[in-house]
Amino acid sequence: MLYIGVDLGTSAVKLLLMDGEGKIQKIVSKEYPIFFPNPGWSEQKPEDWFVQTMEGIKELVQGADKSQVAGISFGGQMHGLVILDENDEVIRPALLWNDGRTFEECDYLNNVIGKEKLSEYTANISFTGFTAPKILWVKNKEPENFAKIRKIMLPKDYIAYKLTGVHCTDFSDASGMLLLDVKNRRWSAQMCDICGIREEMLPKLFESYECVGRLKKEIAQALGLSENVKVAAGAGDNAAAAVGTGTVGEGMCNISLGTSGTIFISSKKFGVDTYNALHAFAHADGYYHLMGCMLSAASCNKWWMEDIIGTGEYGKEQQEITGLGENHVYFLPYLMGERSPHNNPNARGTFIGMTMDTKRSDMTQAVLEGVAFALRDSLEVAKSLGIHLERTKICGGGAKSPLWKKMIANILNLKVDVIESEEGPALGGAMLAAVACGEYKNVEEAAAKIVRIVDTVDPDPALVEKYEARYQQFKEIYPACKPLFDIIKN
């Protein structure tokens, strides 16, 4: 049988066709626009997601035996607010995960309702990207739209609804809404009250590998697929990427270098850190995970390369980099504010340490190292919880860079396992569809049989020592700059 994985990203939807043995048959990508109506705002039209997903599926299955397509599932950008009216029509463009407009609402949630209460209700505190403060923003700033709301959804769930007619979500993606009681895997009545919504406005909850429905007749006809195709709930992009890299079960780790950057640690036990610096979320395998999320990772490199120095030759620029662990230039990668572990929407990208002999390659190196150092910040929080890691998987666009992988290995002092497929969320989505269709009995079995490690980047003890000294300097820069960020935020 064949399975479709849909990775609904921030810049494009990537679709993957996988056979029952886990072999990737074809990959298709379709882009859509992103809108920035005001500084720090970030929006997309859900209708664009659906149109491009439909076009992508048509292209994906062209030339394949369509009768063999058994299931579809998703990995999707998390936290985005999609609101539908009584006719299930989109009310306004979706507020995305990297939208920073909700600082007032976050301040209310964290400091008036209180972080301890939020952690009690949801296992997390409020971040500007989360869905609950977005709901409050619409309530406060667009009351006419708030009054129209009948359904609240996440990005990938809008696609699932359009395909099946079912209002659904999964536990991993719902964990990032600040509306889910993560420990008990149910909606939080207290958070619904705080946001002024009713629980029936929220979608039905499923495990990521559960079937939520089958293709609607008109959708099946438009795609040339059977109405018996199962649609599984899918997962938030990071949980789906973890499935796609085999980061399931107890004590596994994955680092994602995508638009955002994450360090993802799977666990069969629920846990939360004292300061909520890491997110405590449900996982797509039916268990839990801790995650540190930085808002700008590979996007920092893209910004530096394309917008600042004006080149698309990423590899050529990295060839000029020498002297790892010896760079005197540092970069704070907070171009969209920052989430883990600082939770500061006012944080900004910052270069420091330049001198008259600083070269272009030093600046490029600083950008790559800055992202790795910021991931190390979240790893340090995990260590404080008694979590001991020796290795990690890696995925995302940034993982295609041998140099960046070497930096990650030595700055975090972890063995970095490179897997055969770097398709993360899309592959994870296809694997979840395969589990929903009975191809595998559970997510762990699917991961064990499909995910293959093809290379490992080992830390170099001498380089680890050099980078340790650099990290100790790096971690002093943000506290020193924080008061300035508050001054220059406008």
Q: Which residue has the tokens 């007619």?
A: 165
Contact 92, 23 (CB under 8 A): no
Euclidean distance between CA atoms 333 and 300, whole angstroms: 7
Cβ contact 25:64 at 8 Å: yes
Distances in Å between the Cα of 102 and the Cα atoms of 106, 133, 395 are 6, 6, 30
Q: 353: buried, middle or exposed (CB in 10 Å: 19+, 13-18, 0-12)?
A: middle
Q: Confirm whether residue 78 is marked as ligand binding.
A: yes
DSSP H helical segments within 386-460, as ranges?
Answer: 402-412, 424-436, 443-450
For the question of residue 85 being annotated catalytic, the response is no
Asked whether residue 279 is marked as a ligand-binding residue, the answer is: no
In angstroms, the CA 384 to CA 326 distance is: 28
Cis? peptide before 341, omega within 30° of 0: yes
**78, 97 in Cβ contact below 8 A?**
yes
Q: Which of 99, 157, 237, 377 is catalytic?
A: 237
In 97-218, the DSSP E strands lie at: 151-153, 168-170, 180-181, 186-187, 204-206, 211-214
Taking the C-alpha atoms of residue 307 and residue 300, their distance in angstroms, rounded to an integer, is 10
Binding site feature residues: 78-79
- Residues marked active site are found at 237
Binding site feature residues for substrate: 78-79
